[in-house]
Amino acid sequence: MHRIVFLGPPGAGKGTQAAILASALGIPHLSTGDLLRAAVAGRTPLGLAAEEHMRAGRLVPDSIVLEILGQRLGRADAAAGFLLDGFPRNLAQAEALDRRTPLDVVVSFEIPTVLLLTRLTQRRTCPKCHTAYNLTTRPPKVPNRCDLDGTELMHRPDDRAEAVRTRLEVYRVETEPLLRFYRGRGLVRSVDATGSPEAVEARVRSAVG
Ligand SMILES: [Zn+2]
């Protein structure tokens, strides 16, 4: 079984690695953001309940998120495992997830804060098609224009230095107890998330085994 959780700060490259690994292992790559959006779009009872909270600008309660996730984990394509990306985010969610399913491995992406700051503050996004660029590692062909549609790229407010520092701090405070919880169960494999995506991919594969 490959029941995998990816933990790592924003900018660590988790999403990219999750897509690669899930496809290599033939398991679904599950992000709660995508699951919520699908439930809302599908007008399911849980989706409608989630939408009410989103409309009011509130976080969707863990109970609803877990119910949607639980239904997804029950589908046939998740029988051999799954890769959770971006969930759980805190200890309460980890404990609730634990009551639903055992895990086989928790991959922790380790990367120095200074590198994350560079990566995130260099990020630019196309407001039209949402393609992400990076001024250093993936610059657009024409400066500050989207390769696909020529739209002027945007420096999102949450990618500016102060906001990034806050996001990283929130992540650290919420995730430390989570790591302790999973370490206590012997599930955590730390992966050095610096270097090229290919180098990180090889480390992730050997961590997952
Ligand atoms: Zn675009």
Determine the pLDDT at residue 52. 94
Mean per-residue pLDDT of the chain:
91
User: Which of 195, 193, 86 has the alpha carbon at shortest distance from 137?
Assistant: 195
Q: How confident is the model at residue 118 (pLDDT cuts 50, 70, 90)?
A: confident
Determine the pLDDT at residue 156. 85
Asked if residues 101 and 18 have their Cβ atoms less than 8 Å apart, the reply is no
Q: How confident is the model at residue 90 (pLDDT cuts 50, 70, 90)?
A: confident
Distance 120 CA to ligand 1 centre (A): 19
Give the chain's domain count.
1
Distance 130 CA to ligand 1 centre (A): 6
* Residue 141 designated active-site: no
Determine the pLDDT at residue 140. 96
Separation of alpha carbons 205 and 194, rounded Å: 15
Determine the pLDDT at residue 114. 87
Residue 22 CB contacts under 8 Å (≥ 6 apart), including other chains: 28, 29, 83
Four-residue CA torsion sign, 193, 195, 198, 199? negative
pLDDT (tens digit per residue) in 159-169: 888 888 888 88
Determine the pLDDT at residue 42. 93
- 62 occurs within a structural domain: no
Which amino acid type is present at position 188? V
Of 3, 14, 124, 203, which residue is the catalytic one? 14
- 118 occurs within a structural domain: yes
Provide the CB-side half-sphere exposure for 201 (13 A, CA): 14
* Residue 43 designated active-site: no
**Range of the structural domain that residue 135 is part of:** 2-28+75-203
- 141 occurs within a structural domain: yes
- 111 occurs within a structural domain: yes
Separation of alpha carbons 63 and 173, rounded Å: 22
Distance 44 CA to ligand 1 centre (A): 31
Judge whether residue 203 has pLDDT over 90.
yes
Distance 208 CA to ligand 1 centre (A): 35
- 63 occurs within a structural domain: no
Determine the pLDDT at residue 128. 92
- 42 occurs within a structural domain: no
Structure token pair of residue 14: 């988790």
CATH classification at residue 135: 3.40.50.300
Residues of the chain with pLDDT > 70: what percent? 100
- pTM, two decimal places: 0.82
Determine the pLDDT at residue 103. 96
Of 89, 128, 165, 189, which residue is the catalytic one? 89
pLDDT (tens digit per residue) in 24-54: 999 999 988 889 999 999 999 999 999 999 8
* Residue 89 designated active-site: yes
- 46 occurs within a structural domain: no
Of 72, 123, 124, 203, which residue is the catalytic one? 123
- 158 occurs within a structural domain: yes
Q: CA 76, 77, 81 angle in degrees (round to 5)?
A: 110
Higher-pLDDT residue of 142, 174: 142
